[in-house]
A and B are shown apart, each in its own frame.
Chain A
């Protein structure tokens, strides 16, 4: 789609630049031919002008259709359809590292996330830090992680591999060091990995989380064999005003819980 859009635009841009350079050369004041064709009062041609309103409009219209379709197809709130059951991972952006919580597997990690290949990974994101943007460039779209709110994105790795993940939104001094490793593995390897993390000495209690939450830069990876069961809920509602019936969200923001 990107290639199509670029080619369409080039179809307008290249003739424009060709005209620009051709006219610049042909009608330069030193050229005797320019004197012969000098037409100082030629100021409009309705037909011509219609053409260059119409052609860019047509190109933009085609791109607009592609825009509408692709935006809906790549909507972060749209679940990826697959035969494999999705894995849910909760993401918390901290200063300046990423915490990953696996509700089903009961483990948690810092700056490292592993998931099975060819399986939709359903990320639910929030933050205990300034606005951050969660991005694994090789896998797909980024999405903001913001405190008091939950966003989501579904990603799927088509094969195994290790990918770089990062934050794109400046959130303080440790911003550039806020990278993580995302690994997609076969289902067996993923299960083995989950089992090995469950053997870890570290436990993510609320106290451990509060220590983790303190600002730190270039964090090493960490693995927790369990986490406080109220952890994610506590983080998500930390700054919320006292519970009242929540207003209904507009339909197109239903994925974003506040």
Chain B
């Protein structure tokens, strides 16, 4: 009876190790603190109505970024633990972590940083900014947007759930390759937690990808053809196309692994006809497009930033679009470069190696176009521009390392070495993360109504840059010395320790940089009156999002804008006879001449809690699947389907904001 009710759950599943107890305690404390604050400030209803049940992409975007920041700090903590262990664990010392624990940590670090931190930040920025850039008030499917966020949130909770129930996470690396991830070699619940946190959040990602693609293709404002779209919108489109094409592969592959583990099937096991090599191929067919999903939007962010802060149009717009599209297409043709050493033979290896090298071409083209945008511009070195300069400086060398790895002969010596680790961190941090940081600083005033403290922003940047350099240059060197990745211990004679110590100092600098970023938000919030954005256009921007108020009202645009060219907003800033002094933005002009401005009724999407309930049922299903609680699995499925059916009968999914109400709100803003 107990087994029927509780599956494989036992008392031993509860926390009993120092780190599971510690993590559970800190999760509980944070939860209690949040609940206490909400109760004290009487904000429960506000939280529910204004944020959690909202279908407004501006609200959902902020929620993504907040949750992604929390997950980013968790992943960063994992990184610090790894660095300290590797700096200590040489010769007689085995550090402070045993091998299995360290292996769980770096597995979690990779999954959290990729799926929950970076993807969360990106989905947040795309939600916040892309609709504004194309003149749309909402996404194509507002409910799906909310559902996608809550599935992501459920996944984020799930990947931390093992601390409370279960006690172990997957320890087979961030992609859990079989046969190591199969029951024979990973008998616990760790890999099952891995499977379901990815399945749940992956479903959210896929729905989000569909939503963004339809929105960008179908909901652009009148006059904005594809070739007039801002480049951040273009790169978001490309990235989301990659999501739609690749995430189903991840879903299917991890599903097959789950079938192996749950039903004892043999897709990827060592015996009974299983083929682990098939998993490796499938997971990288998803995995390689995934890393481009992570960096392509950042390319778009940098395009906006370089153009705005150089005071010039982006150079070579058509080239940039071609480059983004070719990178998108090429990213499907290179997956085998992740396992040249699995023994495919020279013809296959060479083909994939050459295709990998070809991706360097459009990437290089983008670099030159950015630099030429700066040519004969008037460049303001704000925090986002700092991140851009850091990005080009680091990404160039990381990219060269990548081309080196694309040569199988070289890869045979560098595969799974620290050189590889240094390469991909260079790409994701200087490409993905720096773009995200720059984008957050750049668009912060649009979302909140005040700018971030510039001095602290630049300080944080230098800490990140110096920290990254100090952390990863030793890893490139260690790779050439023959050091492999994922080591929990190494011999003294290998001579690795000084480099690991240098790298550990580097991660401390990065940690200081991250703390400075957090401090920057706190300080800026305190002094927000001094940095208020009163015009909606604090940077002298070029694209449509800057034509709205800051912060953006819930209906986004009072009047739907009309567009006639690229850099649509810049075109409306008329009457310039002389150069404005540097750093001073023009006063905002209306997007449409006042005489023809006409308010209309606006259809707004209503709040709904159904996304939360649906995700809760999916979460329960995942939990039940991990612990083999059959009745709960069924309850989860039935509950989820029931939610969908109930939602389909919901007739109050929209409400009308009348023209008179819009006019009233707009007029009220103009009062001093």
Chain A: residues with CB nearer than 8 A to chain B?
Answer: 1-2, 5-6, 9-10, 12-13, 16-17, 19-20, 23-24, 27-30, 34-35, 37-45, 48-49, 52-53, 56-57, 60, 63-64, 66-68, 70-78, 130-131, 133, 135, 137-138, 140-144, 146-149, 151, 164, 166-177, 179, 238-241, 250-256
Contact partner of B579 (CB less than 8 A), chosen from A35, A135, A166, is A35
Q: Which 3 A-B pairs have the closest CB atoms?
A: A252-B345, A141-B412, A239-B271
Contact A71 B353 (CB under 8 A): yes
Least CB separation from A50: chain B residue: B319
Contact A40 B377 (CB under 8 A): yes
Known: A24-B379, A67-B406, A173-B99. 13 other contacts (CB 8 A): A16-B392, A23-B371, A49-B316, A60-B361, A71-B409, A72-B346, A72-B347, A142-B412, A143-B341, A164-B494, A173-B103, A240-B271, A254-B345
Contact partner of B341 (CB less than 8 A), chosen from A6, A43, A141, is A141
Contacts A9-B400, A252-B347; A177 near B489 (Cβ below 8 A): yes
Contacts A130-B180, A130-B185, A252-B344; A176 near B579 (Cβ below 8 A): no
Contact A144 B343 (CB under 8 A): yes
Contacts A9-B403, A71-B409, A130-B185; A176 near B487 (Cβ below 8 A): yes
Contact B177 A256 (CB under 8 A): no
Contact A170 B100 (CB under 8 A): no
Contacts A27-B379, A43-B314, A169-B416; A146 near B277 (Cβ below 8 A): yes
Contacts A42-B375, A42-B376; A53 near B409 (Cβ below 8 A): no
**How far is it, in angstroms, between the C-alpha of A250 and the C-alpha of B103 when the chains are bound?**
36
Q: A residues within 8 A CB of B343? A: 76-77, 143-144, 151, 253, 255-256
**How far is it, in angstroms, between the C-alpha of A133 and the C-alpha of B313 when the chains are bound?**
50
Contact partner of B350 (CB less than 8 A), chosen from A2, A43, A72, A169, is A72
**How far is it, in angstroms, between the C-alpha of A164 and the C-alpha of B495 when the chains are bound?**
13
Selected A-B contacts with CB under 8 Å, 26 pairs? A5-B407, A16-B396, A20-B374, A38-B311, A38-B378, A42-B313, A44-B315, A49-B316, A49-B365, A52-B365, A56-B360, A64-B358, A70-B408, A74-B408, A130-B180, A133-B416, A141-B341, A141-B412, A146-B276, A148-B270, A170-B173, A170-B486, A171-B185, A175-B487, A241-B273, A253-B343
Contacts A20-B371, A72-B346; A13 near B397 (Cβ below 8 A): yes
Least CB separation from A179: chain B residue: B491
How far in angstroms is the closest Cβ of chain B from A221? 15
Q: A residues within 8 A CB of B38? A: none
Contact partner of A63 (CB less than 8 A), chosen from B318, B357, B379, B417, is B357
Contact partner of B367 (CB less than 8 A), chosen from A16, A42, A45, A179, is A16
Please report the number of residue pairs spanning A and B whose Cβ atoms sit closer than 8 angstroms: 271
Least CB separation from B397: chain A residue: A13
Q: B residues within 8 A CB of A170? A: 103, 172-173, 180, 486
Contact B313 A71 (CB under 8 A): no
Contact B417 A168 (CB under 8 A): yes
Contacts A13-B400, A39-B312, A60-B360; A168 near B392 (Cβ below 8 A): no
Contact B375 A74 (CB under 8 A): no
B:403-437 near A, CB below 8 Å: 403-404, 406-410, 412-413, 415-417
Contact B99 A70 (CB under 8 A): no
How far in angstroms is the closest Cβ of chain A from B83? 16
Interface string of B349-383 (1 = CB under 8 A from A): 11001100110110011011101101111111100
Contact A27 B377 (CB under 8 A): yes
**How far is it, in angstroms, between the C-alpha of A143 and the C-alpha of B413 when the chains are bound?**
10
**How far is it, in angstroms, between the C-alpha of A60 and the C-alpha of B363 when the chains are bound?**
12
Q: A residues within 8 A CB of B46? A: none
B:538-580 near A, CB below 8 Å: 579
Contact B349 A71 (CB under 8 A): yes
Contacts A2-B410, A6-B404; A77 near B345 (Cβ below 8 A): yes
Contact A27 B375 (CB under 8 A): yes
Q: B residues within 8 A CB of A29? A: 311, 378-380, 582-583
How far in angstroms is the closest Cβ of chain B from A217? 8
Least CB separation from A70: chain B residue: B409
How far in angstroms is the closest Cβ of chain B from A7? 11
Contact B173 A172 (CB under 8 A): no
Contacts A57-B361, A170-B172; A176 near B490 (Cβ below 8 A): yes
How far in angstroms is the closest Cβ of chain B from A139? 10
Q: A residues within 8 A CB of B368? A: 16, 19, 52
Which of A28, A43, A45, A64 gathers the greatest number of chain B CB atoms within 10 Å?
A43
Q: A residues within 8 A CB of B592? A: none
Contact B180 A171 (CB under 8 A): yes
Contact partner of A40 (CB less than 8 A), chosen from B272, B312, B316, B379, is B312
Does B348 lie at the interface of the complex (its beta carbon under 8 Å from any beta carbon of A)?
A: yes
Q: B residues within 8 A CB of A172? A: 180, 185
Q: A residues within 8 A CB of B178? A: 130-131
Does B310 lie at the interface of the complex (its beta carbon under 8 Å from any beta carbon of A)?
A: yes
Does B389 lie at the interface of the complex (its beta carbon under 8 Å from any beta carbon of A)?
A: yes
How far in angstroms is the closest Cβ of chain B from A214? 13
Interface string of B313-334 (1 = CB under 8 A from A): 1111111000000000000000
Contact partner of A239 (CB less than 8 A), chosen from B270, B318, B374, is B270
How far in angstroms is the closest Cβ of chain B from A11? 11
Least CB separation from A34: chain B residue: B378
Contacts A9-B400, A140-B412; A60 near B358 (Cβ below 8 A): yes
Q: B residues within 8 A CB of A173? A: 98-100, 103, 171
Contact B313 A41 (CB under 8 A): yes
Q: A residues within 8 A CB of B417? A: 168
Does B26 lie at the interface of the complex (its beta carbon under 8 Å from any beta carbon of A)?
A: no
Contact B273 A23 (CB under 8 A): no
Contact A53 B341 (CB under 8 A): no
Does B393 lie at the interface of the complex (its beta carbon under 8 Å from any beta carbon of A)?
A: yes
Q: B residues within 8 A CB of A39? A: 312, 376-377
Contact partner of B313 (CB less than 8 A), chosen from A43, A239, A240, is A43
How far in angstroms is the closest Cβ of chain A from B295? 18
Q: B residues within 8 A CB of A72? A: 346-347, 350
Does B342 lie at the interface of the complex (its beta carbon under 8 Å from any beta carbon of A)?
A: yes
Contacts A17-B396, A41-B313, A177-B489; A28 near B379 (Cβ below 8 A): yes
Q: A residues within 8 A CB of B364? A: 12, 16, 52, 56
